[in-house]
């Protein structure tokens, strides 16, 4: 596959795009999917844990997270839902997208706030209906897949909550990790999105990629990391990963965040921003061309950027509904060998409210990629002494019925998707299957020399 550096127009970005709200039908479908999954596992009740960092499964049903507190949603097999909330989230119960009664758990509140209860936490959980069940699932956020553990008996919730659950229930009750009901890459409820959900998440993917390209266009010598990072803060939305705008060597003084460091010629530069529905990440050099690189990395284009780009293009061109996870893994291993390029994570994973939901792409995975999946390109090469190369972005997979539904219900979203496909086809010369819907504006766009904003890699 011939790849070259060429002068091209950059992709379009879309500003002031309205959000797409999840509708009541979608929330009803979500609730039904979880209740059906509970029935398949013979669960009498499901306890769904949440905090600010780990609220996706809870929010999937309620529409909110408990912010700076912990929270629980108890879903009974009858369909009854009970929220267990701290002091400052009680007011949100009446806004829950899944109708639920609420019980108060001040233990979930901030330090030294009022503990106005005469009950123990286990008694509060009994108020939520947890008493005589025989089989109860606990959904945290971890999908334990190790081969040397009893995975169903690993629980990723605070000990004080787990012990209270044990005390509330009888000793005969079986407790098991049920996070897979939500995020198993094989049959989790959250891995497949309908048209409403794809449109909802396209907002975040567009937002992240628009902000990232705006920030890339602002990269100049002498500017600070903070000045570039300020351009990544978009629409007041909450990020779901730590924002990166890092020049030169990273992690000085163990700092993870954009600082006052000034951009200098020849610096390695990394940039990442992510919102619900999509992350955009870029890594390259702060130069105009190869002659400005240090001599020992002057072959960066041939050693890192072009092989990496070849892998990304291969990934994009082979992506479609029905491809097995192991096929994608083996495809990338074939064009970008792990022992030479030292990538070690999954070359692609699913996206939702979280930047990394789960991944069907791993060795020997027989999981078929399905219509309604959102996938992030996530191939991370590492060559000693060189800057990385990164064009992480988000796509959706959609078969013809889902595409027709998306086009009919959300014509503006569909128009943006088609404009992205046209750019990828006509400018970058990448051939996408009809199933592949770019949700990020910058899919396939790699600018290796950040001071030269006119040139990017393309297929010939």
Write down which residue in 128, 147, 177 finishes a domain: 177
Residue 89 in any domain: the answer is yes
Asked if 118 and 259 sit in the same domain, the reply is: no
Asked if 168 and 210 sit in the same domain, the reply is: no
How much is the average pLDDT of 188-208?
99
How much is the average pLDDT of 373-391?
93
Give pLDDT tens digits for 260-285.
999 999 999 999 999 999 999 999 99
Asked if 14 and 62 sit in the same domain, the reply is: no
Angstrom CA distances, 339 to 36, 139, 269, 333, 374, stand at 43, 36, 24, 9, 28
Domain that holds residue 125: 42-177
Share above pLDDT 70 across residues of the chain, in percent, rounded to a whole number: 100
- Residue 178 near residue 137, CB atoms below 8 Å: yes
CA 405 to chain centre: 24
How much is the average pLDDT of 236-243?
96
How much is the average pLDDT of 402-421?
99
Per DSSP, helices labelled H in 9-151 are 24-40, 56-62, 121-127
pLDDT above 90 (res 404): yes
State the pLDDT at residue 441. 99
Residue 255 in any domain: the answer is yes
CATH number at residue 169: 3.40.350.10
pLDDT above 80 (res 1): no
Number of independent structural domains in the chain: 2
Asked if 160 and 215 sit in the same domain, the reply is: no
Asked if 82 and 13 sit in the same domain, the reply is: no
Residue 72 in any domain: the answer is yes
For the ranges 5-9, 20-24, 143-147, 435-439, which has the lowest average pLDDT?
143-147
Give pLDDT tens digits for 419-438.
999 999 999 999 999 999 99
Residue 203 in any domain: the answer is yes
Asked if 135 and 7 sit in the same domain, the reply is: no
- Using CB atoms within 10 A of its CB, is residue 138 exposed (0-12), middle (13-18) or buried (19+)? buried
Q: Which one, of 157, 141, 145, 193, lies nearest residue 350 by Cα?
A: 193
- Residue 391 near residue 278, CB atoms below 8 Å: no
H/E run at residue 137: strand 135-139
Q: What is the full DSSP assignment across 268-306? A: EEEEEEEETTEEEEEEEESSSSGGGS-GGGTTHIIIIIH
Crossing angle of the two packed helices 195-217 and 400-409, in degrees rounded to 10: 80
Asked if 173 and 268 sit in the same domain, the reply is: no
Asked if 152 and 198 sit in the same domain, the reply is: no
Residue 420 in any domain: the answer is yes
Report d(CA 202, CA 394) in Å as an integer: 9
pLDDT band of residue 9 (cuts 50, 70, 90) is: very high
Report d(CA 306, CA 378) in Å as an integer: 16
Asked if 431 and 345 sit in the same domain, the reply is: yes
pLDDT above 90 (res 86): yes
pLDDT above 90 (res 253): no
pLDDT band of residue 252 (cuts 50, 70, 90) is: confident
Residue 32 in any domain: the answer is no
Only one residue has tokens 């074939």, namely 334
State the pLDDT at residue 301. 97
Asked if 222 and 289 sit in the same domain, the reply is: yes
CATH number at residue 409: 3.90.230.10
Tokens for 68, please give them. 């700076």
Write down which residue in 177, 205, 234 finishes a domain: 177
Give pLDDT tens digits for 215-227.
999 999 999 999 9
Q: What is the full DSSP assignment across 333-383? A: HHHS-HHHH---S-S-EE-SSSS----S-STT--PBP-TT-EEE-------
pLDDT band of residue 238 (cuts 50, 70, 90) is: very high
Residue 150 in any domain: the answer is yes
Sign of CA dihedral 235, 236, 238, 244: positive
For the chain, give the mean pLDDT.
Answer: 97
pLDDT above 80 (res 288): yes
Asked if 165 and 291 sit in the same domain, the reply is: no
Write down which residue in 121, 155, 177 finishes a domain: 177
Residue 118 in any domain: the answer is yes
Tokens for 84, please give them. 């267990």
State the pLDDT at residue 97. 98
The model's pTM: 0.96
pLDDT above 80 (res 162): yes
State the pLDDT at residue 389. 94
Asked if 108 and 248 sit in the same domain, the reply is: no
State the pLDDT at residue 116. 85
């Amino acid at each position: 596959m011939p790849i070259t550096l060429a002068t091209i127009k950059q992709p379009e970005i879309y500003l002031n795009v309205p959000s797409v709200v999840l509708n009541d039908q979608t929330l009803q479908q979500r609730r039904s999917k979880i209740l059906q999954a509970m029935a398949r596992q013979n669960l009498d009740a499901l306890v769904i844990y949440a905090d600010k960092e780990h609220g996706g499964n809870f929010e999937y049903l309620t529409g909110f997270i408990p912010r700076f507190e912990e929270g629980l949603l108890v879903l009974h097999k009858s369909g009854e839902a009970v929220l267990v909330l701290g002091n400052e989230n009680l007011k949100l119960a009446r806004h829950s997208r899944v109708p639920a009664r609420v019980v108060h758990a001040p233990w979930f509140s901030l330090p030294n706030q009022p503990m106005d209860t005469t009950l123990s936490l286990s008694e509060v959980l009994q108020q939520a209906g947890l008493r005589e069940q025989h089989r109860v699932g606990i959904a945290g956020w971890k999908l334990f897949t190790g081969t040397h553990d009893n995975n169903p008996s690993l629980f990723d919730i605070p000990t004080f909550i787990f012990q209270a659950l044990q005390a509330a229930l009888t000793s005969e009750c079986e407790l098991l990790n049920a996070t897979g009901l939500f995020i198993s890459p094989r049959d989790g409820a959250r891995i497949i999105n309908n048209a409403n959900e794809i449109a909802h998440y396209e907002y975040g993917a567009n937002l992240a990629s628009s902000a990232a390209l705006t920030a890339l266009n602002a990269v100049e010598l002498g500017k600070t990391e903070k000045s570039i990072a300020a351009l990544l803060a978009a629409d007041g939305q909450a990020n779901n990963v730590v924002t990166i705008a890092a020049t030169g060597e990273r992690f000085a003084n163990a700092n993870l965040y954009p600082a006052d460091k000034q951009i200098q010629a020849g610096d390695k530069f990394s940039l990442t921003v992510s919102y619900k529905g999509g992350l955009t990440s870029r890594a390259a050099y702060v130069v105009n061309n190869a002659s400005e690189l240090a001599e020992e990395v002057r072959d960066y284009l041939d050693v890192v950027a072009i092989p990496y780009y070849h892998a990304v293009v291969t990934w994009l061109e082979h992506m479609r509904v029905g491809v097995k996870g192991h096929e994608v893994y083996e495809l990338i291993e074939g064009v970008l060998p792990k022992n030479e390029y030292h990538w070690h994570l999954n070359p692609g994973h699913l996206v939702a409210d979280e930047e990394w939901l789960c991944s069907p792409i791993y060795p020997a995975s027989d999981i078929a990629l399905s219509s309604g999946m959102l996938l992030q390109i996530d191939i991370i090469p590492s060559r000693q002494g060189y800057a990385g190369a990164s064009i992480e972005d988000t796509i959706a997979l959609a078969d013809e019925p889902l595409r027709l539904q998306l086009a009919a219900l959300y014509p503006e979203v569909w128009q943006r998707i088609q404009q992205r496909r046209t750019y990828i086809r006509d400018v970058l010369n990448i051939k996408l299957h009809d199933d592949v819907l770019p949700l990020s504006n910058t899919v396939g766009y790699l600018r290796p020399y950040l001071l030269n904003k006119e040139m990017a890699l393309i297929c010939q």
